[in-house]
Structure 1
Amino acid sequence: MKKLIKQPGFKRWIEHSLQQRENILAVSNQGTLLHYREGDRDLVVKTAMGSGLVYRLRHRTLMREYEAYKRMKGLAGVPRCYGLVDERYLVIDYIHGRPYRQASWNDRDRWFEEFLAVLQSFHSRGVSHGDLKSKGNIMVTEDEKPCVIDFGTSFVSKPGFHPANSWMFEHARRMDINAWVKHKYHGRYEDIAGEDLERLDYSFIEYWVRKFSGRPTHTIPRRSRR
C-alpha cells in the first residue's frame, strides 16, 4: 500500500476525481472524501478543500488528523492510515460496516465494553476525539466491532509543559467518555448507575452549552450532586 500512494498515477486519480467530481464518498465542512477501489485495495482519501485562509485552516486540521493517526498506529478500532500523498491528501482504510445509528448487535453490552477499550487505548496514546456525540463518527464493523472514524476534531497532547494543549486534550477526553455513557444509555441519564455514573463527568463548558441550547441539565446526575 505504501508503494501505491507514492505512484504518480494515484495522485493523478485523486486530482482527476476532484476535478470531475467522481468517486466522492462524502463532502463535509472539513473537505471531500474520495473512495478508491482496485482489487483488494479499498481506501478513503481525505482532502482539504477551499482556497486562501479557508484552505489553510482546513489543511491544518488535516495535518492534525494525520498526527493523530500516527500516534494511534497499530491500535484496534480506528482506521489504518497509510500516510499523505503530496503532503495534502490523507489516505486511510475504508471501514466496512454500518454507522452506529443504523446498527444492531447480538451482544450490545459486550460491544460497549469493547468501544470503551478503544477510547481508552487512543487516550493513552495522547489522542482525544472530541466529537463522539455525533453518531456518524462511530461505526459497527461487519464483525460487530467498534470503530471510531473522522479524527478531524481530535486533540493531540504535546510533551512537556503546554497548559492550553493539556487542558484541551483533557476536555475532549472527558467529552469522549461522556459520549460513550450517553450512547450506552440512549441518552437516559436517569438510568445511569454504578461505574458508568462515576465515568460521567460533564465539564463546566458542556453544562452551559447544553443549558443555552435549551436541553435539560437537571437530568445530568453528577452535575446535580455538585
Structure 2
Amino acid sequence: MKEQVLVSQLSECFPEHSFHSNKVSVLHKGRFANAIVYRYKDDSFDFVIKDFQHSPWFVRRTFARLFIGQEYKALERLNGMSGVSDQFHRLSNISIAYSFIEGTPLRTLKKQNKKLPKSFFHQLEHRVSEMHRRGLVHLDLRNLGNILVGEDGQPYIIDYQSAITFSRFPNWLKRIMRGADLSGVYKAWLTGCEQPMTEYKKEFLMNYNQLRKRWIFRGYPMHRAYLWLCGIASQLPGADLFRNMTDKF
C-alpha cells in the first residue's frame, strides 16, 4: 500500500514519532509522469507529500528523480525565506515532504471574483524578488494555483518542481526567466487587485505577453519547459559549449 510506504519513510525521518497511514489523504491524483500529492496530518505534523510510486519504472528512474531533486534543491536554497514552506524532507529518490501551508489559491479567488488589497501584491512582488536574489526562478507563477493567500493574509508560493537556479545562464535567458516570474505576479495583480496596477507594470506585462506570442515555443507549458531544459543543459558536462552557443542569440 502506497500510504504505508510513505508512513515508513516519514518514520525514518522522525523515528521518535508514530505515524499512521489513516492520517494520509490524497490532495491531487497525478497520473503517469505526474506526482500524486498527499497530505499527512496529525497532532504534531502537517505535510504535503509528492510521490511517484505509481509512475512507470522508466519515469521513476529518470524524470521523477529529477523533479524531486529540483524541488528539494529549490526549497533548500529558499530556506528561511518568508512565504515558503519552512520544513522539507527528501523521503526517497521519488518522494518529498514539506510543511503544508493553509491558504486559498489566487486561482480560486479569481473564479469567485474576489479582490485583494494592493499591499498583498507588493508583498508578493518583494518575495519573488527575494527568490531571484537567491539565484532561483520559479517558472510556474502564471499558474495562479501556485500562489496562496495564507491565513495571515500574506502571499505564499508553492510547487517548486520547475524551479531552477540561473546564475550560469546567458544574460538574455536570465531576463526571460525572471520576466516569466514577474509576469505571473503582474497577471495576478491585474485581475485580482482592488486598485489598478501602475502603467509601468502594465507595460511590462504587455511586453512580456508579446514576447510569448513571438516565442517559437508557444504556450506557457512549452515555454516553461524550454527554459527549464535550457537551465538543466547549462549545468551538465559540456555546459560551456552550451553557453557559448546561446550567447550568440
Pairwise same-fold verdict (TM > 0.5) = yes
The one-letter code matched in structure 2 to 1:46 is K
- Cα pair 1:130 1:176 within 8 Å, conserved: yes
The one-letter code matched in structure 1 to 2:186 is V
Kindly tell me: are residues 211 and 92 of structure 1, through their superposed partners in 2, closer, same or farther at Cα, counting changes over 3 Å? closer
Q: How far has the Cα of 1:157 moved from its partner?
A: 2.6
- Cα pair 1:11 1:85 within 8 Å, conserved: no
Structure 1 CA distance, aligned partners of 2:38 and 2:216? Answer: 34
Query: Structure 1-normalised TM-score?
Result: 0.73
Matched residues, number: 197
| Higher mean C-alpha deviation, range 87-96 or range 137-146 | 87-96
**Residue 141 of structure 2: SS of its match in structure 1?**
coil
| Structure 1, unaligned runs of 5 or more | 214-226
Q: Counterpart of 1:172?
A: 177
| Structure 2, unaligned runs of 5 or more | 1-9, 220-249
Q: How far has the Cα of 1:149 moved from its partner?
A: 0.6
How do 1:2-151 residues align onto structure 2 when only pairs under 5 Å count? 6-7=13-14, 23-28=25-30, 29-49=33-53, 50-55=55-60, 56-103=62-109, 104=114, 108-151=117-160
Structure 1 CA distance, aligned partners of 2:34 and 2:174? Answer: 20
Q: How far has the Cα of 1:32 moved from its partner?
A: 1.0
Give CA-to-partner distance per residue, 1:179-219, whole Å, 9 cap, x none.
111221129xxx76433146435177612359966xxxxxx
Structure 1 CA distance, aligned partners of 2:83 and 2:74? Answer: 14
Query: Structure 2-normalised TM-score?
Result: 0.67
Q: How far has the Cα of 1:62 moved from its partner?
A: 1.3
C-alpha root-mean-square deviation of aligned residues, in Å? 3.2
> How many percent of aligned residue pairs carry the same amino acid?
21
Give CA-to-partner distance per residue, 1:61-95, whole Å, 9 cap, x none.
11111110000000011122322123432111111
